[in-house]
Amino acid sequence: MPEPQPEPGREQPRLDPWGSTVIDYSKVFTEFGISRFEELLPRVKEPHLYMRRRIIMGHRDYELILDAMERRRPFAVMSGFMPSGKLHLGGKMVMDEIIWHQRMGAAAFVSIADMEAHAVRGISWRECKEIGVSEYVLSLIALGFDPHRGFIYFQSENRMLHDLAFELGCEVNIGEMSAVYGFSGDVNVSKCVSVLMQSADILQPQLAAFGGPKPTVIPVGFDQDPHIRLTRDIASRARLFTVELVKREKDEYECVRVRAKTRDAASALKEVSSRLGGEKRAYEMHVDVYGEPFEEVERVVREAEIELGGYGFYPPAATFHRFMRGLGGGKMSSSKPESYIALTEPPEEAAAKVMNAKTGGRATLEEQRRLGGVPEECIVYELLMFHLIEDDRHVAEVYEECISGRRTCAACKKAAAELMLSFLKEHQE
Ligand code: SF4
């Protein structure tokens, strides 16, 4: 069979079953300082299919999580869901990631963000509760979350969370929130409070009641990065001490500097310093430690901070996945039921939506055979790759058959619709 040729004026798609040519995510790496996940992939044991297929594309500080996994130290995973409508496949992605981390040994936390749904979307408390349980909690457990080893809570019912949010609020001002979220003067105050609640959601796994500070990963889409950045800043501000490497010229290691952030903390520096090995030079607000490994200094300082009543937070880590598009090829929107598949909708209706989804097929069968399809533009392929086929070789086969013109869209959609039907039937049972 001759090699499929590109249409005139159109580039041949890259031979990459996991690639996406549709959305340019490069800016998030260059402008926002998010790191590329694939660089860490060789260190991940039994990676989730979102990792293997480069659907999880970015991370912040995921090395902390890998270190904890490798050394069998405590770590946590947490994410939240706003109970404002049906749980669609985009929300399922976050649940899958939480469940994977729980299976890898993480303490797992799931927030049902009813305060956010009430403040931002005006959903009544009663509806928040109904939607939260019937759409989110049930699906989470049906997908494999172990509630006996995890903590699912409604924001409005978690007193510890409220206290933490209040404390964190001392570390951030309205001007800063406005800069991060673009809030104008007419934004209601409860919306600002709900932002603090989310920061408290993210940091709660590190409270003493849950075993104290530990690396915590937040699986999210790229759009949630402002929450992650703000919370990382708040976590750092809420520390009593900072620990940093001081380097000489040419990046040569000099010493580890422990800096007190308040006068009270400075008065405890002598005691903290006495617990550290190595040579020390004390100053008014900091102490320089020579000849001790950074990790050891950090561990001792964190312990001392907790004894002094501080939090000792690790900066929260995050993974960022790329988005699924809507079934018509545009944005998936909860206000447009035809753009998404919900995990609780009748399986037959969902299968019919798959049959009507946008494909990357050609105008005629003859063209399809001659030129091949374009899976990068195909929502059916996205459904298969993100949700319906576990085996990587099978997905690669679909891709090859598509671009070589051996696969027809009619048969492909039918196969995807059947897989969707059986997935949803089993899920709902
Ligand atoms: Fe999409 Fe399948 Fe058609 Fe290829 S053959 S464009 S993967 S529906």
Ligand 1 center–CA 95 separation, angstroms: 27
Instruction: Please tell me the predicted confidence (pLDDT) of residue 23.
Output: 53
Instruction: Please tell me the predicted confidence (pLDDT) of residue 247.
Output: 82
Q: How far apart are CA 114 and CA 94, in angstroms?
A: 17
pLDDT in tens, 254-268: 899 999 998 888 998
Q: Is pLDDT larger for residue 346 or for residue 189?
A: 346
Ligand 1 center–CA 380 separation, angstroms: 7
Q: Is pLDDT larger for residue 136 or for residue 330?
A: 136
Could you count the other beta carbons within 10 Å of the beta carbon of residue 89? Answer: 19
Instruction: Please tell me the predicted confidence (pLDDT) of residue 21.
Output: 41
Instruction: Please tell me the predicted confidence (pLDDT) of residue 414.
Output: 97
Instruction: Please tell me the predicted confidence (pLDDT) of residue 71.
Output: 95
Beta bridge partners of 150: 108
Q: Residue 30: what are its φ and ψ, rounded to 5°?
A: -85, -35
Ligand 1 center–CA 368 separation, angstroms: 9
State which of 407, 408, 418 you would mutate to test the pocket of ligand 1, scoring each by most atoms of that ligand within 8 A of its C-beta.
407
Q: How far apart are CA 93 and CA 324, in angstroms?
A: 9
Work out the pLDDT band at 332, boundaries 50, 70, 90. Answer: confident
Q: Is pLDDT larger for residue 251 or for residue 357?
A: 357
Q: How far apart are CA 340 and CA 200, in angstroms?
A: 30
Nearest-atom index, ligand 1, CA of 379: 1
Give the residues surrounding ligand 1 with Cβ less than 6 Å away.
359-361, 373, 375, 378, 380-381, 402, 407, 409, 412-413
Nearest-atom index, ligand 1, CA of 399: 7
Instruction: Please tell me the predicted confidence (pLDDT) of residue 24.
Output: 64
pLDDT in tens, 14-46: 444 455 444 567 777 888 889 999 999 999 999
Instruction: Please tell me the predicted confidence (pLDDT) of residue 9.
Output: 42
Instruction: Please tell me the predicted confidence (pLDDT) of residue 114.
Output: 95
Instruction: Please tell me the predicted confidence (pLDDT) of residue 22.
Output: 43
Instruction: Please tell me the predicted confidence (pLDDT) of residue 12.
Output: 40
User: What's the rounded mean pLDDT across residues 206-215?
Assistant: 96
Could you count the other beta carbons within 10 Å of the beta carbon of residue 24? Answer: 8
Long-range contacts of 164-169 (CB under 8 A, 24+ apart): 164/200, 164/203, 164/204, 164/207, 165/193, 165/196, 165/197, 165/199, 165/200, 166/196, 167/238, 168/196, 168/199, 168/200, 168/203, 168/234, 168/238, 169/196
Ligand 1 center–CA 402 separation, angstroms: 6
Q: How large is the C-alpha radius of gyration of the chain?
A: 25
Instruction: Please tell me the predicted confidence (pLDDT) of residue 170.
Output: 93
* Burial of 308: CB neighbours in 10 Å, binned 0-12, 13-18, 19+: middle
- Residue 256: CA atoms inside 13 Å, Cβ hemisphere, count? 22
pLDDT in tens, 53-99: 999 999 999 999 999 999 999 999 999 999 989 999 999 999 999 99
Residue 2: is its pLDDT beyond 50?
no
* Burial of 187: CB neighbours in 10 Å, binned 0-12, 13-18, 19+: middle
Closest residue to atom 8 of ligand 1, CA basis: 409
CB 288, CB 280: distance < 8 Å: yes
Ligand 1 center–CA 419 separation, angstroms: 15
Residue 1: is its pLDDT beyond 50?
no
Q: Name the pTM for this structure.
A: 0.90
pLDDT in tens, 363-415: 999 999 999 999 999 999 999 999 999 999 999 999 999 999 999 999 999 99
Ligand 1 center–CA 359 separation, angstroms: 6
pLDDT in tens, 152-176: 999 999 999 999 999 999 999 988 8
Q: What does 198-263 look like in DSSP terms, one character per residue? A: HHHHHHGGGSGGGTS---EEEEEEGGGHHHHHHHHHHHHHT-SEEEEEEE-GGG-EEEEEEEESSH
Residue 10: is its pLDDT beyond 50?
no
Work out the pLDDT band at 251, boundaries 50, 70, 90. Answer: low
Residue 235: is its pLDDT beyond 60?
yes
CB 339, CB 332: distance < 8 Å: yes
